[in-house]
Amino acid sequence: MDVRLECFKMLGAGLATISLGGSGVGVGIVFGSLVMGLSRNPENKEILFQYAILGFALTEAVGLLGLMMAFLILFR
């Protein structure tokens, strides 16, 4: 019984870390959009950068929550 529990813990932790891949893609999209926005409107540099940092923080938070869930699954 203990072996199956460990197996399911590993499987659950692996599934929880999928959010890290999505977070990486999201960060790439945020900064890619920043570059495109700056090339179209260079005079709006400050506001575009603020939006990019906000998007980066929110996207990265989702990845960190997924990592936290993986650790909770493994070590609980």
Is residue 63 in some structural domain? yes
d(C-alpha 18, C-alpha 23), whole Å: 9
Model confidence at 1, in pLDDT bands (50, 70, 90)?
low
Is 61 a domain residue?
A: yes
Query: For residue 69, what are the domain limits?
Result: 17-74
pLDDT digits (tens, 9 = 90+) for 30-75: 999 999 999 999 999 999 999 999 999 999 999 999 999 999 999 9
Question: Measured between alpha carbons, how far is 44 from 69 in angstroms, rounded to an integer?
Answer: 38
What's the CATH code of the domain at 41?
Answer: 1.20.20.10
Domains of the chain: total? 1
42 by DSSP, 3-state: which? helix
In 3D, which of 20, 31, 29 has the Cα closest to residue 60?
20
Determine, yes or no, domain membership for 3.
Answer: no
1 within some domain? no
